[in-house]
Amino acid sequence: MDATARHSHRPHGPIADDYTIDQAWERYSPAEHARWDLLHARQVRMLRQRACPEFLQALDRLALSDGGIPHFGRLSERLAARTGWQVVAVPDLVPDPVFFEHLANRRFPAGAFIRGADQLDYLQEPDVFHDVFGHVPMLADPVFADFMQAYGAAGLAAARAGRIDRLARLYWYTVEFGLVRGSRGDDLRIYGAGILSSARESVYALEDPAPRRIGFRADRVMRTRYRIDDLQQVYFVIDDFDQLLDSLQGDREPLYARAAAGPELSPEAVESDDMLHILHAQAAE
Ligand code: HBI
Ligand code: FE
The beta strand positions in 100-201, using DSSP E, are 107-111, 179-181, 188-190
Mean pLDDT of the chain: 92
Asked whether 99 lines ligand 1 (CB < 6 A), one says yes
- Residue 278 is predicted with a pLDDT of 86
Atom of ligand 1 nearest to the CA of 96: 10
- Ligand 1 neighbour 274 (Cβ under 6 A): no
pLDDT at 5 > cutoff 90: no
Specify the pLDDT at position 67: 87
- Can you give the pLDDT at residue 163? 81
Q: How far apart are CA 79 and CA 223, in angstroms?
A: 34
272 C-alpha vs ligand 2 centroid, how far in Å? 30
CATH superfamily, region 3-261: Aromatic amino acid hydroxylase (1.10.800.10)
Q: Label residue 257 by pLDDT band (50, 70, 90).
A: very high
Q: Which run of H or E residues covers position 279?
A: none
Residue 282 has pLDDT above 80, yes or no: no
Q: Which of 213, 69, 85 is nearest to 144 (CA)?
A: 85
Using alpha carbons, list the distances in angstroms from residue 90 to 10, 58, 94, 167, 211. 10, 23, 8, 22, 33
* Average pLDDT rounded to a whole number, residues 91-100: 94
Distance 193 CA to ligand 2 centre (A): 6
What percentage of the chain reaches a pLDDT higher than 70?
93
Q: Kindly report the number of other CB atoms within 10 A of residue 1's CB atom.
A: 11
Write down the ipTM of this complex.
0.95
Q: Is the pLDDT of residue 217 over 90?
A: yes
Q: Please tell me if the CB atom of residue 36 comes closer than 6 angstroms to any atom of ligand 1.
A: no
Nearest ligand to the CA atom of 98: 1
Q: What pLDDT digit, counting tens, does each position of 147-181 carry?
A: 999 999 999 999 888 889 999 999 999 999 999 99
Separation of CA 281 and ligand 1 centre (Å): 34
Average pLDDT estimate for 271-283? 81
Band of pLDDT at residue 56, cut at 50, 70 and 90: very high
Half-sphere exposure of 135 (CA within 13 A, CB side): 26
